[in-house]
Amino acid sequence: MGTAASYPRSVTGASRSLRWSPRVYYRLFFAGVALLAVLALAASPAPAQVELTVHPSMAKGPADAPVTIIEFSDYQ
């Protein structure tokens, strides 16, 4: 008699994740992809718009030109 168990003992927590079905892994994968997509769309910056005033002495060429090039420089 003694202290021996009368039922078979098995370890039931060492490899718990190995018993998950592939469906669980697919759900976790697609949930992660969806989360990354939401974060990427939410973090996209809005295009910057700057209001500039240009004095006529600061420009060359016609005022109604189809393209305007603005140069920012710092003279030090």
- Residue 69 phi/psi, 5° resolution? -110, 125
pTM metric for this prediction: 0.35
- Give per-residue pLDDT as tens, 45-55: 777 777 878 77
* Inside any domain, residue 26: yes
* Inside any domain, residue 29: yes
Q: Is the separation of the CB atoms in 44 and 26 below 8 Å? A: no
* Inside any domain, residue 39: yes
Number of folded domains that form the chain? 1
- Give per-residue pLDDT as tens, 4-28: 666 666 655 555 556 667 788 888 8
76: its two tokens:
């030090």
